[in-house]
Chains A and B, each alone.
Chain A
């Protein structure tokens, strides 16, 4: 019997195997994580904790394990980003406007995970409506990264965003894994900031049904885990064609774990020259070079490639995503559910409700989106952005004629401190400069921890694959993970 605190240090794969071997029960595993949630509540990773539901589920899992009917995620405690609607459990999107919203339905992805046996510990925090890169835009307070700077352990660092609650929960060993969603980098950047593996699969891999929408043409769910194998296991239980989502792809679900063959000999890895902007830190540059060396050592061939429209990706994203968000968030009007602030007229009720219900970043993006779709600006902004988006996708398509996977940094820096950024929102937006092009092209992107900064903080590298070729991305990531040997843990965990 393993000590309870050790149970939280297991990988998802090891916990799965331990449950199957009856080394411990799902209830014990779940209880260990509930204890960890109690100890780490100050990190503010969870918006809503559901320990009772989790223990009930775990008991069911134990029964299934006993009968040999275990699903792929049977009895494994995970965090659920509070953007996935969960039946009977409050779903807030970390917005005041949905503060008391309890959906009468379950999102397809969370339902898939539950069907596979996953035990949901609670709902993890995010930037409001997934709009942010720091978790500071949540209506329910910032989430704290468990990692500390060697130089200043007292500084409170952000976990990244928007899936920051999930990242902190997994990094602080409060959950074996957690779901994230990624619109412009919301899985990959917090994974990088918290020393985790996070994969945003190909657009269309995971159903968006029941996921509170931010930008429909970009939103995609994915797992956040501590290892590549864990990501492969969990991804397999999230994906699948869903007739309820017209953009869900009718493609077969591969055995992602089986793709981890350890053999990447002969693979060509693209190194895009445009991902070396002025001012890229030495640390990130070196990490990237070290990544190239790992791949070379494993028998892959680095190839310099050009993705010429990369520099337009960020402005393009900040037209497309706000445009869609301005429309997607119109339903939060105080009429049917969520917050309502009464007014003397319908228009006044709308204005008061939405002013009180949405935070500053959400309001900013709704305004930008409304502007770029307005008569007289639509062609200059939205149409132009769609054209550039096509060019960015074409860049990747051309590159993938010669390479099998692309390696880039995930984020331009390590985790920063709360309140260390200036007030210019664009500074914050730059966090996603390396992840956004992949999102615009709808491609799978994975971040894995590849090393520590001089100040002791995790740094991530990103692997980008062909559409629906998560298997190659995971295989390469698995090999790099072994080479990097990233074993550091946040202090105090």
Chain B
């Protein structure tokens, strides 16, 4: 059942496309040697080129080209061997040149695709329309002085990739899944750190609504939606707003809207009547960008295993469910952690531990996979102790918490605390005998058909052995004794 919003006049379908601005991971800017570090003092990372001083000229940063091509390949997209930088002309105080150098008619990357991993384990494919490189603008600071605006040019000239999707998404969840997946791919590729809080990734969302079977209706563009949660919220709000407009007999106007995260609503920024005429034309300061197929192939050869491939491998090699595999591969570091834990061990058990107690402890303690509460080696060691019957799964949970607390190796904890599982048949038998003797009435009831009491006996034996009795052996012996 596809996603619809029920209106007064019937069901409405959503049509969503995203333009994601991803900051290229690069030490220097797209056309200058200035640094790109986040959080630097205002106007400390500004070259003569970034400030558009007279006579200054852009020179393309080759690393940024490589990153864009790498990203294109990661999106399974067509790489255009010839692309052209164009000037997008408009006046704004934080745009020093009076134009943004971008790519317009001839972007470096053409059509590609992103496969979404939906929460129910299914997948959906969203088309990529294009990817082009462009400069970021500076930042206007309106809150520093009662009557003046200040300008920080640190961001001016920072390299961005604008990644434009096709209008292939049909629900807020799909849009969120798209941003999540795109972010994951960029992080795998090392071409964008995906840090939305620092503005390394920003989304413009195009939304329209229509009745089933209709062609596209007018869309609104929502600017600068800066978290995945806001993407869903903004789409939901905007779709309902448009439905209301139509159902009240109005028409949606093509316009740019701003998402107000505090109020959870979108509001009009400027309408089409005031739309800029950007007067794009090829930048005469830059030659067309010509790449060779060999250059592209060399970058392709150096691509890492990407989330989709990794997920397929996890499903195939480790017999994981698509859902588990999808979660594990979302972050490369998590996938690597899992693989270290799973190596030579039961992958399903490894997966359960990584996604279960380990993930819970990480969240609870506010740790990260790069700074884990328990090392992969120790978590693996714990699983080994379970596998070789040294400890039971139940004891393992205790050991795990002690590992988190102390950082010690699981074998040491088991030895120190005497948590080694009792696998001595004689010892288990004598514990069982004692329990059965002390509960002769219940034994009679059990034998009389009250099967449920089996658990009671297990509990009593466990209690007597402080939980260390090997559960499988306990079950076997108990069954024999009671039969």
Contacts and interface: CB of A to CB of B under 8 A. Distances in A.
Nearest to B140: A346
B99 interface: yes
Contact of B55 (A107, A217, A246, A247): A107
Contacts of A245: 57, 59
A331 B55 contact: no
A173 interface: no
B98 A327 contact: yes
Interface string A309-327: 0000000000000011011
B287 A213 contact: no
Contact of A374 (B48, B56, B87, B277): B277
B281 interface: yes
Interface stretch (B88-96, B205-213, B311-319, B371-379): B88-96
A347 B149 CA distance: 13
Interface in B84-110: 87, 89, 91-93, 96-99
Contact of B52 (A211, A216, A331): A331
Interface in A296-348: 323-324, 326-327, 329-331, 333, 335-337, 346-347
Chain A CB within 10 Å, residue with most, of B93, B99, B284: B284
A375 B285 contact: no
Contacts of B369: none
12 contacts: A104-B48, A105-B53, A208-B55, A209-B55, A246-B287, A247-B284, A247-B286, A327-B279, A330-B89, A331-B52, A331-B97, A337-B53
Contacts of A93: 54
B402 to A, nearest CB: 61
A213 B89 contact: no
B53 A103 contact: yes
Contacts of B149: 346
Contact of B60 (A210, A246, A331): A246
Contact of A105 (B48, B59, B98, B277): B48
A12 B325 CA distance: 78
A85 B57 CA distance: 13
Given A331-B52, A336-B51, A373 B89 contact: yes
Contacts of A85: 53-55
A140 B122 CA distance: 72
B87 A244 contact: no
A370 B281 CA distance: 11
A324 B89 CA distance: 11
Contacts of A347: 91
Given A333-B91, A333-B98, A336-B96, A327 B281 contact: yes
Contacts of A374: 277, 279
Nearest to B276: A375
Contacts of B284: 215-217, 247, 324
Contacts of A212: 54-55
A382 B277 contact: no
Contacts of A330: 89, 91, 97-99
Contacts of B97: 330-331
Contacts of A209: 55-57
A242 to B, nearest CB: 9
Contacts of A215: 284
Given A208-B57, A331-B96, A336-B52, A373 B279 contact: yes
Given A324-B284, A331-B96, A373-B279, A350 B52 contact: no
Contacts of B60: 246
Given A216-B284, A327-B99, A211 B55 contact: yes
Nearest to B49: A244
B58 to A, nearest CB: 7
Contacts of B35: none
Interface string A241-270: 001111100000000000000000000000
Interface string A78-117: 0000001100000101000010010111010000000000
B151 interface: yes
Chain B CB within 10 Å, residue with most, of A323, A329, A333, A346: A333
A411 B93 CA distance: 42
Given A98-B54, A216-B284, A374-B279, 17 more contacts: A101-B54, A103-B55, A208-B57, A209-B56, A327-B99, A329-B98, A330-B89, A331-B97, A331-B98, A333-B93, A336-B151, A346-B92, A347-B91, A350-B91, A374-B277, A375-B279, A382-B281
A216 B97 CA distance: 14
Size category of the A interface is 35 or more
A429 interface: no
Nearest to A204: B287
Interface of A: 84-85, 91, 93, 98, 101, 103-105, 107, 208-213, 215-217, 243-247, 323-324, 326-327, 329-331, 333, 335-337, 346-347, 350, 370, 373-375, 378, 382
Nearest to B151: A335
Nearest to A335: B93
B157 to A, nearest CB: 13
Nearest to A242: B57
Contact of A210 (B55, B93, B279, B286): B55
Given A247-B287, A335-B151, A327 B53 contact: no
A91 B54 contact: yes
Given A244-B59, A335-B151, A350-B91, A378 B279 contact: yes
B21 to A, nearest CB: 22
A336 B48 CA distance: 11
A244 B92 CA distance: 26
B52 A323 contact: no
A138 to B, nearest CB: 17
Contact of A243 (B59, B89, B99, B279): B59
Contacts of B48: 104-105
B87 A246 contact: no
B331 to A, nearest CB: 38
Interface string B136-174: 000000000000010100000000000000000000000
A350 B58 CA distance: 24
Given A216-B285, A327-B281, A373-B89, A246 B58 contact: yes
B54 A244 contact: no
Contacts of A103: 53-55
B54 A327 contact: no
A416 to B, nearest CB: 31
B144 to A, nearest CB: 15
Counting from the closest, the 9 A-B pairs by CB-CB distance are A330-B98, A373-B279, A217-B284, A216-B284, A331-B52, A210-B55, A212-B54, A375-B277, A85-B55
A309 B93 CA distance: 42
Interface in B368-399: none
B161 to A, nearest CB: 20
Interface string B46-80: 00100111111111100000000000000000000
Contacts of A337: 53
A118 B415 CA distance: 85
Nearest to B94: A335
Nearest to A97: B54
Contacts of B99: 327, 330
Given A327-B87, A336-B51, A336-B96, A246 B286 contact: yes
Contacts of B52: 331, 336
A216 to B, nearest CB: 4
A375 B53 CA distance: 28
Contacts of B91: 330, 333, 347, 350
A246 B51 contact: no
A247 B97 CA distance: 18
Nearest to A219: B284
Contacts of A107: 55
B279 A370 contact: yes
A213 B373 CA distance: 59
Nearest to B98: A330
A14 B286 CA distance: 40
Contacts of A329: 98
Interface string B265-303: 000000000000101110011110000000000000000
Contact of B54 (A246, A331, A378): A331
